[in-house]
Structure 1
Amino acid sequence: MFEVYSLTGMAAHLIILLLFSVLKGVHSITTVSKVSVKAGKSISIPCLYESQYINHVKYLCEGYYWNFCRYAVKTNKPDPSGKYLISDDKKQNIFTVTINQLTNENTDYWCVVEINNGEDYPQYFHLSVTRGTPSLYVDHQRITGYIGESITIRCNHSNSGEMKWCRLGRNCVTGSSGSIDGTTVTTHMSDPNVFTVTMSGLRSKDSGWYWCAKADIQIPVYLTVTENTTTTPTTATTSTTISTTIHTVAENGTMEQGKTSTIGENKQHRDSFAPRILIIPLSVLIWIVIVVLFIWFILRHKQRKADSSVTPTAEEEIIYSDVRPKKRSLAKVDKEVTYSEVRLYKKGKSSFAESETEILYSSVVRKQRMKRGDGKDTGVTLEHIS
């Protein structure tokens, strides 16, 4: 029963699309038909319209059936939640809708041009939201190339079918080589699951929306071609290869992240002398001189301090004096012996550089009254003076 209703709904949907194609014309709005995306990610969908609708309001409508779809975002009324974004490039007649934080419920949409006092012009597209790897995807949906250079796009796929590279509203390249608006396009399978597209000799008019297609699934890619301002003019140039930088741009037009695809490289050399290149060597040299002088000053200061701390040897003068009185001729006569020793120390300096001092030591030993003739003992007196 469910399958019968499903088939009936699809038939009605196809009839509605056919009627719009007949009544409004096939080329009223051109966009992709089916895109494989991962849940939680974002996707940007371009919608090409005819030039007579430049000043008309454009909008995104969500829902499987056109008569019951609801407004998601309009060019004159942005979405306050930020889930839906819309922008209108009136130079290329393309308005772009961006859907963020995709879920399994975000699958059926309509690109619409609002017609005053008449039926709006819609174009349906389907999003196949998966939790795993999409069946067709590119590393970056927005890329940048440079005038006169080349750029390479890798289309990763997992399903079978014919592979092609197309420009929105223009022709497609299905073989190994071809051209789109005069720009050379070459394609090849770099490995079983990667379809590589190379566009050579880029021009500013090559900017715009393209898509990879594998069977019935497409993935849009926006290419911006601009001047390469990363190189500076020089007097001498060594020619090697050319380098192309690919940048990822966020859906609102701001830079999100970058990836460099190196096709080649230009190396430039300067013959003229630039004085500012000497600033760094001179600064380093001055810094080294200052450090050396500082170390020399510290070592010299320590040496002077060490020399001043040495204790000089005190000069020493020693005077010895020995006084001996003559003995009396008689043996019993009192004997008196005097010994005198004088030591004189001069000019002694301590380790703390104290003032000069003189120290005098005197030692006198006197023996009195030996023994008298009467046999009596006499006392002996010793005196010591320091």
Structure 2
Amino acid sequence: MANHLSFLLLFIIFYRVSAGRHVSVQAGGSITIPCSYDQYYINHVKYWCKGYGWTRCSSVVRTDHPKSTDRASISDDIAQKVFTVIMTDLEPEDSNTYRCVVEINGGSDSMLQWFYLSVTPGTPELYVDQQEVTGVEGGSVTVRCYYSNTGDIKWCRMGGDGVSGYSGTLNGTSVTLKRTSEANNRTVLTVTMSGLKMANTDWYWCRVGELEMPVHITVSQPTATQRTSKMTSSTQDPTSQQPSASPTAEPVQTDNTSQGAEGNMEEVHQRSVKVLLISLGMLVVVTAGILVTWKMWRKHKDNKAKDQTTNNSVDPFPEADDDVTYSTVIPQHKAQLKGQTKSAEPDDNVVYSSLALQVTTQQRAAAQ
């Protein structure tokens, strides 16, 4: 019976040791550690503790209190069922074993994962230039892992499958691994995930031998600016970018995306539409200019013709009132017989002279 208990104890110890992760960070740098948990523990308190032994593990930060200290903080994402711990300004004496723990009310707390954090004064054996990488749906992201140690190489999703060798798939997304050597006896493992989906948002691990480094990938919908810059992003060579000067794996937000042929076709289509709209706009402006010029010319021509007509319509007798002569009208009565009396009724034999308008020679010349 004692042999069985010893074997069981050794098995448990071996399982916990094999399930641990070894993370290396340069002194003065920072590290973000993710701890995943079961849905059953969503409403439980989680904490990050330090210490080799289980009984000597002292709490550093908790999701209830304290949530942060001068060099550590904790946050809980219940949607992703992951709580993360950020440690900053690390020093060599911070090298120790750390644990992700869920508090069980009325019982023993549950350890989710343990880590051995190694803080080195020089460049660590495994590091990444960015722990936070963002991409857009349908695009690609590239992660670079720098290492000087040896061992099996693997890119895996937290709590899921992994890809080793040169290529593979994770949740329907294409993954390629490429290794290139540097002059300082280091090797760069370039991991490219293409055809991103929203479901690819998660934590991933870059693993070389016994060392690992967590990387969080966030996939979002492309914005208008990102759609117009697809052509530029797709032509950038991922290997031409240089790593950061300090390999501290400090979280840096980036938009490291490159687009495929589908994005290029969309960009070409958008540029064609813009050229067509610009051409139509220029045609409208030219046509409007021609119409305005034609209308102004016609108006000028009509005004000129109207002026000529007004000049030709001159009064032929401008001063006729001054030279009009009227003849004298004298009524003439027939002679009455002597001895007869004048008739009381009006005489019908009254004769009137005609009225003539005399026009001067100057007026005739002006009329002609």
Question: Could you tell me the TM-score, scaled by structure 1's length?
Answer: 0.57
2:188 to 191, 194, 197: 194
Question: For each residue in 1:143-172, what CA deviation from the matched residue of structure 2 results, as whole angstroms up to 9, or x when unmatched?
Answer: 101100111111100011111101000011
1:272 counterpart SS class = helix
Shift of 1:77: 1.2
Residue of structure 1 in register with 2:24 after alignment: 36
Question: For each residue in 1:118-145, what CA deviation from the matched residue of structure 2 results, as whole angstroms up to 9, or x when unmatched?
Answer: 1111132101110111101111001101
Runs (4+) of structure 1 exceeding 6 A deviation are: 237-241, 243-246, 274-277
Shift of 1:243: 7.0
Residue of structure 2 in register with 1:124 after alignment: 114
Compared CA separation, residues 226 and 163, structure 1 to 2 (3 A):
same
1:111 counterpart SS class = strand
Mapping of residues 281-320 of structure 1, within 5 Å = none
Output the amino acid matched with 2:202. G
1:175 counterpart SS class = coil
Instruction: Report which structure shows greater RCO (CA 8 Å, sep ≥6).
Output: 2
2:43 to 55, 62, 80: 55
1:77 to 65, 73, 81: 65
Counterparts of 1:274 and 1:115, CA distance in 2: 70
Counterparts of 1:158 and 1:184, CA distance in 2: 26
Counterparts of 1:110 and 1:276, CA distance in 2: 66
Counterparts of 1:68 and 1:187, CA distance in 2: 41
Shift of 1:117: 0.5
Residue of structure 1 in register with 2:150 after alignment: 160
Residue of structure 2 in register with 1:327 after alignment: none
> What is the CA RMSD across the aligned residues, in angstroms?
3.7
Output the amino acid matched with 1:218. E
State yes or no: 1:219 paired with 2:229.
no
Residue of structure 2 in register with 1:272 after alignment: 277
1:141 to 131, 134, 149: 131
Counterparts of 2:89 and 2:259, CA distance in 1: 34
Instruction: Give unpaired runs (5+ residues) of structure 1.
Output: 1-11, 249-254, 278-386
Is contact 1:241–1:263 with CA below 8 Å preserved after alignment? yes
Fraction of identical pairs, as percent: 43
Structure with the larger helix share: 2
2:65 counterpart SS class = coil
Output the amino acid matched with 1:140. Q
Output the amino acid matched with 2:74. I
Compared CA separation, residues 17 and 210, structure 1 to 2 (3 A):
farther
Question: For each residue in 1:71-99, what CA deviation from the matched residue of structure 2 results, as whole angstroms up to 9, or x when unmatched?
Answer: 10100113453311111111221111111
1:105 counterpart SS class = helix
Counterparts of 1:82 and 1:276, CA distance in 2: 60
Is contact 1:41–1:101 with CA below 8 Å preserved after alignment? yes
Structure with the larger strand share: 1
Counterparts of 2:278 and 2:120, CA distance in 1: 60
Compared CA separation, residues 233 and 90, structure 1 to 2 (3 A):
closer
Question: Could you tell me the TM-score, scaled by structure 2's length?
Answer: 0.60
Is contact 1:31–1:48 with CA below 8 Å preserved after alignment? no
Compared CA separation, residues 16 and 58, structure 1 to 2 (3 A):
farther
Q: How many residues align?
A: 249
Output the amino acid matched with 1:272. L
